[in-house]
Amino acid sequence: MMNSSPEYEVVNCPVEVVPITKENQYNEQTKANELYAKYLEIERDSGNIICLTCVDIILNFSYFIIYFYQILISFFFFCIGYNGADTRNMSKIKCYMIYQSAQFGIKFMGLLFLITLKANTIKRIEFRINNPNNPISGKIDTLISLTILNLFFHINFLCYLRKYYNLLPLLKKEPNYIIL
């Protein structure tokens, strides 16, 4: 009858012994403090991202007058961004960052369009004739200022999202010590 237990080979390998010194303890404590500070920053930033997604959806409600479909798209991505910040999900935050970048591009192009309508009277008259039910032509100044406000918000929000996104991989690290 054969022995079915596995055979193990004992290998002699050198073990590196690191003496515990005050410097090593200080370095470990510093690393622990830095990691704890990053965890606290992620917690704080999660709440801020949730708040900023709410501000973003409110700012996008103002475009409901012009583009009704925009609100549906904004609400869908609001749910993704809110859930991503709430659960600290990197893929959802990345998706929301892509959406915010696209929103910035769309609103920048819209700003250029509004400025050309404001500056060129002939194009404005043609736009009113071709699109009699579109409320853009009557509220150009308000829409320009609202779009500029939105663009500044998107720039700052994208920077903040990127910082938050870069901190999220720290949650994957398994520290070999307990933070008290």
Other Cβ atoms less than 10 A from the Cβ of 139: the count is 13
CA–CA distance, 114 with 172 (Å, rounded to integer) = 46
| pLDDT, position 108 | 92
Question: Is the pLDDT reported for residue 117 higher than 50?
Answer: yes
What is the tens place of the pLDDT at every residue in 144-169? 888 898 899 889 888 888 888 888 77
Which residue type sits at 56?
A: D
| 112 part of a folded domain | yes
What is the model's pLDDT at position 71?
Answer: 77
Domain count, the chain: 1
| Structural domain boundaries, residue 155 | 25-169
3-class DSSP string for the chain: CCCCCCCCCCCCCCCCCCCCCHHHHHHHHHHHHHHHHHHHHHHHHHHHHHHHHHHHHHHHHHHHHCCHHHHHHHHHHHHHHHHHHHHCCHHHHHHHHHHHHHHHHHHHHHHHHHHHHHHCHHHHHHHHHHCCCCCCCCCHHHHHHHHHHHHHHHHHHHHHHHHHHHHHHHHHCCCCCCCC
163 inside domain? yes
* pLDDT of 180: 46
Identity of the residue numbered 135: P
Angstrom distance (rounded) from CA 83 to CA 92: 8
Give the pLDDT confidence score for residue 139 in this predicted structure.
Answer: 75
Evaluate whether residue 6 is within a structural domain. no
On the question of pLDDT at 12 being above 70, the answer is no
Is 94 a domain residue?
A: yes
Q: Establish if 41 belongs to a structural domain.
A: yes
Using one digit for the tens of pLDDT, what is the confidence trace for 13-49?
Answer: 555 554 555 565 556 667 777 777 777 787 888 888 8
Could you tell me if 131 and 120 are in contact, meaning their C-beta atoms sit under 8 angstroms apart? no
Tokens for 38, please give them: 């990053």
**Of 114 and 37, the one with more pLDDT:** 114
Position 173: which residue type?
A: K
Q: For residue 10, is it within any domain?
A: no
Instruction: Give tens-digit pLDDT for 168-180.
Output: 776 665 555 444 4
Whether 20 is in a domain gets the answer: no
In a domain, 2, yes or no: no
| Residue 62, number of CB atoms within 10 A of its CB | 16
Angle at 89 between CA 42 and CA 158, to 5 degrees: 65
What are the tens digits of pLDDT across the range 57-109? 887 777 666 666 777 888 888 888 888 888 888 888 888 889 888 888 988 99
Q: Give 50-68 pLDDT, tens digit per residue.
A: 888 888 888 777 766 666 6
Compare 9 and 145 and report the one with higher pLDDT.
145
Q: How confident is the model at residue 8 (pLDDT cuts 50, 70, 90)?
A: very low
